[in-house]
Amino acid sequence: MFEKLRGAFSSLAKAVAEKKLSEKDLDDSLYNFQLALMESDVAQNVVESVTGDLKKQLLGMSVERSKDVEEVVKEKLRGEVLSIFSQVGDVDVLARVKESKAKGEPFKILFLGINGTGKTTTVAKFANYMKKSGFSVVIAAGDTHRAGAIEQVTEHANRISAKVVAQRYGADPAAVARDGVLYAKAHHVDVVLIDSAGRMQTNQNLMEEMSKIVRVVTPDLKIFIGDSLAGNDAVSQAELFSKYTGFDGAILTKVDADSKGGAALSITFTTKRPILFLGVGQSYDDLKRFDAKAFADSLVN
Ligand code: GDP
């Protein structure tokens, strides 16, 4: 995972360590670092911010002889990465679900994202995670457009023994979402997971459809699903949903196959919303809580 981004970080640390920190040498090293970040799918605004900050820190740095320069540079890089994640906070999903349950209210989560990003699989993984954490779930099959979407989500749900609420194709997704909530209230189900459609990111109708679901069911949490392999497309999709419906956090999928690693940084920096979980494989247990510290450590070590 993330070999490319890791490579960019370690090359910079090595390059700086081998030279005196003159401005010219530093600029050369940072230029190469910028290129490597771009190749790792780090968005341009993040590249500029990170390298600008680093330059200031490294230029003013006086390294004690006994200290390993490479280690000091790595520490600065680690700090840069952590500062991007620490600015956006976090959402403790389990605590929020517990609070809702204590009030006797179902906790409603709407999943947003473009087709093919792994949304349906992620809804199933999330249902599995909720069940394993001791909560009952119902899935609302809110993608009533894409052929096969209702069968797909139902098949996933059957495999993990989760209930699905669905209507026919062409039905109003907001009505399906509301049915899911009504079912949860009637049967004292703890969590409602609302799958949604994901036609073309530029489709105005899709954004209106998502806004309608939000108005009708007022989700407690809106989660954007981004494909870590989609590069800058994932960032522009995140920006679009952020603008039209807003979201509270993101799940990055297919991280197990991602050799670059820029998506987490870019989406967080651009939308100012935290990454909550990572999809790390195709089975239902392959959903990991995102840990910013572990992510930063893995890049510099
Ligand atoms: P949707 O169109 O967004 O609902 O996408 P799907 O849920 O159908 O997923 C598209 C493909 O991505 C499927 O083949 C999934 O098995 C695969 N997929 C989803 N999440 C992951 C993941 O975390 N890792 C890997 N390797 N594949 C994933």
Q: What is the pLDDT of residues 173-193, one digit of tens each?
A: 999 999 999 999 999 999 999
Residue 169: pLDDT band with limits 50, 70, 90: very high
CATH number of residue 121's parent domain: 3.40.50.300
> Structure tokens of 19?
């030279």
Q: Is the CB of 280 under 6 A from ligand 1?
A: yes
Q: Is the CB of 254 under 6 A from ligand 1?
A: yes
What is d(CA 6, CA 129) in angstroms, rounded to the nearest whole number? Answer: 29
Q: Is the CB of 115 under 6 A from ligand 1?
A: yes
CA-CA-CA-CA torsion sign (51, 57, 59, 61): negative
Q: Do 68 and 159 fall within a single domain?
A: no
Nearest ligand 1 atom to the CA of 253 is 23
Domain presence at residue 200 = yes
Q: Do 176 and 285 fall within a single domain?
A: yes
Residue whose CA is at the smallest distance from ligand 1 atom 18? 118
What is d(CA 99, CA 245) in angstroms, rounded to the nearest whole number? Answer: 24
Q: Is the pLDDT of residue 66 over 50?
A: no
Q: Tokens 């900050």 sit at which residue?
A: 53
- Say how far residue 235 (Cα) sits from the centre of its chain: 10
Residue 231: pLDDT band with limits 50, 70, 90: confident
Q: Is the CB of 117 under 6 A from ligand 1?
A: yes
Q: Is the pLDDT of residue 280 over 80?
A: yes
Domain presence at residue 296 = no
Q: Do 106 and 39 fall within a single domain?
A: no
Q: What is the pLDDT of residues 7-52, one digit of tens each?
A: 888 888 888 776 666 778 788 888 988 998 888 888 888 899 989 9
Interhelix angle for 262-271 vs 232-244, to 10°?
30
Q: Is the pLDDT of residue 201 over 60?
A: no
149 CA from centroid of ligand 1 (Å): 13
CB neighbour list of residue 168: distance below 8 Å, 6 or more residues apart: 144
Candidate of 117, 206, 282 to mutate for ligand 1, largest count of ligand atoms within 8 Å of Cβ? 282
Q: Indicate the residue among 51, 71, 86 that finishes a domain.
A: 86
Nearest ligand 1 atom to the CA of 123 is 7
281 CA from centroid of ligand 1 (Å): 8
CATH number of residue 12's parent domain: 1.20.120
Q: What is the mean pLDDT of the chain?
A: 91
What is d(CA 193, CA 1) in angstroms, rounded to the nearest whole number? Answer: 29
pLDDT, residue 65, reads: 46
pLDDT, residue 206, reads: 87
- pTM for the whole structure: 0.92
Q: Indicate the residue among 58, 86, 114 that finishes a domain.
A: 86
Task: Tell me the sheet residues that pair with 226.
Answer: 252
- DSSP, collapsed to helix, strand or coil, labels residue 41 as coil
CA-CA-CA-CA torsion sign (122, 125, 129, 134): positive
Q: Do 170 and 273 fall within a single domain?
A: yes
Q: Do 125 and 225 fall within a single domain?
A: yes
Q: Is the pLDDT of residue 61 over 80?
A: no
Domain presence at residue 158 = yes
- DSSP, collapsed to helix, strand or coil, labels residue 163 as strand
Domain presence at residue 77 = yes
Q: Do 139 and 112 fall within a single domain?
A: yes
Q: Do 79 and 129 fall within a single domain?
A: no
Domain presence at residue 295 = no
Q: Is the CB of 253 under 6 A from ligand 1?
A: yes
CB neighbour list of residue 222: distance below 8 Å, 6 or more residues apart: 109, 110, 112, 214, 245, 246, 247, 248
193 CA from centroid of ligand 1 (Å): 17
Q: Do 53 and 111 fall within a single domain?
A: no
Q: Indicate the residue among 25, 57, 86 that finishes a domain.
A: 86
Q: Do 130 and 273 fall within a single domain?
A: yes
Work out the end-to-end distance of the chain between its first and last CA atoms, rounded to an integer number of angstroms.
13
Q: Do 141 and 62 fall within a single domain?
A: no
CB neighbour list of residue 30: distance below 8 Å, 6 or more residues apart: 12, 51, 54, 55
Domain presence at residue 300 = no
What is d(CA 147, CA 65) in angstroms, rounded to the nearest whole number? Answer: 65
Q: Do 236 and 100 fall within a single domain?
A: yes
Q: Do 34 and 139 fall within a single domain?
A: no
Containing structural domain, residue 69: 3-86
Domain presence at residue 19 = yes
The number of C-alpha atoms within 13 Å of 6 and in the hemisphere containing its C-beta is 13
Number of folded domains in the chain? 2
